[in-house]
Structure 1
Amino acid sequence: MTGSVTDRLNVEFAGEEYSVAPGEVFTVGREGDLAIDDNLFLHRNFLTIRNVEGLWLLSNVGTRLSATVTDTGGRVQAWLAPGARLPLVFAATTVIFSAGPTTYELTIHAAEPTFRETQPTYPDDDDGLSTIGDVPMTHSQRVMILALAEPVLRREGTGMSELPTSAQAAERLGWTLTRFNRKLDNVCDKLDRAGVPGLRGGVRSYATNRRVRLVEHAIAARMVTRDDLPLLDLEHDNAVGLADD
């Protein structure tokens, strides 16, 4: 079944586009229609896209990994856990997920979306804080997130990025590792209390997964953008200057 142009979805990843027609099942993973990377942390079959009775559905068919799904404006966000599925109703839907230290991003485009977006308006922030949803972030918390998300933000378009370790991110800011980890603890606790999933758990999962999950959420929710990247050099110069005094 081929389907018309308006019936189809297009999946964009790393500069390549893939067309999905009704009646087809499109698979994303280490293998499948979109074999995105030879990464042993990634499931052979992780995500599927299919049309069910006229509605496009994104399903997580993996057993361990989750994905963050958002409209491209960052106003609607969902966490797609193993076994879950979501309708694809926006003109463009961004899917972000991590496998090991690598974060991946792809975009799904619909020619005839079910939901039509309106232009949002945002109130001016004049209190010195960056308000992300209902979660305020201080300047130091924001630049900490930026240091982790920098490779993703510098990447052109969709694709994959290797996230820095905590030690590398601390060095980027000119901070001690102790200070960086304290800020990371504070941000993860704050977002966890606000209901963001995946930032807390057992000791092992908390230690290894919280950085990548934080970056997934920060990018999807537009907590940080490419326009914020100059803050990293400013923070590093200020931190090194204070240390030299």
Structure 2
Amino acid sequence: MSDPIRGEVGSMDITVEFAGEYFTPKPDEPFYVGRQGDLELDDDNLFLHRHFLEISRIDGLWWLSNIGARLTATVTDSTGGVNAWLAPGARLPLVFEMTTVVFTAGPTTYEFTIHSQGPALRIDSTGGADGGQSTIGHVPLTSRQKLLILALAEPALRREGAGISEIPSSSEAAARLGWTSTRFNRKLDNVCEKFDRIGVQGMRGGQGRNAVNRKARLVEYAVSSRLVTKDDLALLDAPQGDAEDDDEV
């Protein structure tokens, strides 16, 4: 069986796209993303680090580094077939033709893309009918589990391209679905437990991880891995049955 990742080593020029604007990092100096820096995302959001991410070229290869202290980012290739969690202090090489970066600071989710000319690696999506996305994208969801994720991810999915969106509160998402808050929170626990069991990081509660962080991570993962797409939003307005507990883990 051939390796689905094909190497093409060579020099790369990259551009960063955010909300319709393009930025070109310089090879000889770091490019900072955050509340301030070369890409200033939102200078009013105090949950966002002043300098959160750094893009730099080292020994001929571009790297994305998390230089923040608290926030994490979800990093995927253009197909959603590669999905990584970039924790504080971690870094990843930028080897794909298009890399999507999604993260949340407070109630706000940000997304930007990094385009590479002459990428070092490409994903071969010809190996199967699902376009090579089964490793990340194939998570069995019941209809109500998918509806819950869609209610949380709706602002991000309706956003056109990279940019900024807000994550709904639990009460807002519950109202969107016509559920009680108790029902919504129970089903959110079930969904997060399911993803935690397959190894998706950030789904468990605990010290420093509140409900907002868990919902943010769920949205980041579901959107970046193409588990839910804009085409699925029609399900939110479709008539719902009366089944109450069809999506327990």
TM-score in terms of structure 1 length: 0.88
Alignment partner, residue 6 of structure 2: none
Distance 1:73 1:131, change over 3 A: closer
Q: Are 1:122 and 2:129 matched, yes or no?
A: yes
**Deviation string, structure 1 residues 33-85 (Cα, Å, up to 9, x no partner):** 00110210000000000110111100000000000000011000110000000
SS at match of 1:222: coil
Question: Aligned partners of 1:218 and 1:122: how far apart in 2?
Answer: 20
1:179 Cα deviation from its structure 2 partner: 1.5
1:203 Cα deviation from its structure 2 partner: 5.8
Q: Which structure: greater helix fraction?
A: 1
Match of 2:169 among 150, 165, 168: 165
Correspondence list, 1:1-245, <5 A = 7-38=12-43, 39-120=45-126, 121-122=128-129, 133-202=137-206, 205-234=209-238, 237-238=239-240
Q: Is the Cα–Cα contact under 8 Å of residues 56 and 87 in structure 1 kept in the other structure? A: yes
Alignment partner, residue 127 of structure 1: none
Question: Aligned partners of 1:166 and 1:219: how far apart in 2?
Answer: 18
Question: Aligned partners of 1:90 and 1:131: how far apart in 2?
Answer: 18
**Deviation string, structure 1 residues 85-107 (Cα, Å, up to 9, x no partner):** 00000000000000000000000
The size of the alignment, in residue pairs, is 229
Q: Is the Cα–Cα contact under 8 Å of residues 72 and 92 in structure 1 kept in the other structure? A: yes
Question: Runs of at least 4 residues of structure 1 off by over 6 A?
Answer: none
Q: Is the Cα–Cα contact under 8 Å of residues 157 and 230 in structure 2 kept in the other structure? A: yes
**Deviation string, structure 1 residues 147-204 (Cα, Å, up to 9, x no partner):** 0000000000000101100111111111111111111110100000110001113166
Q: Is the Cα–Cα contact under 8 Å of residues 199 and 206 in structure 1 kept in the other structure? A: no
Stretch deviating more after TM superposition (133-142 or 218-227):
133-142
SS at match of 2:50: coil
Question: Aligned partners of 1:68 and 1:103: how far apart in 2?
Answer: 11
Indicate the RMSD between aligned Cα atoms, in angstroms.
2.1
Which runs of 5 or more structure 2 residues have no equivalent in the other structure?
Answer: 1-10, 245-249
TM-score in terms of structure 2 length: 0.87
**Deviation string, structure 1 residues 108-141 (Cα, Å, up to 9, x no partner):** 00001000222343359xxxxx996453111100
SS at match of 1:135: coil
Alignment partner, residue 3 of structure 1: none
Q: Identify which of structures 1 and 2 has the higher relative contact order when contacts are C-alpha pairs closer than 8 Å and 6+ apart.
A: 2
Question: Aligned partners of 1:102 and 1:47: how far apart in 2?
Answer: 16
SS at match of 1:136: coil
Q: Work out the percentage of aligned pairs sharing the same amino acid.
A: 61
The amino acid that maps onto 1:52 is I
Distance 1:203 1:140, change over 3 A: farther
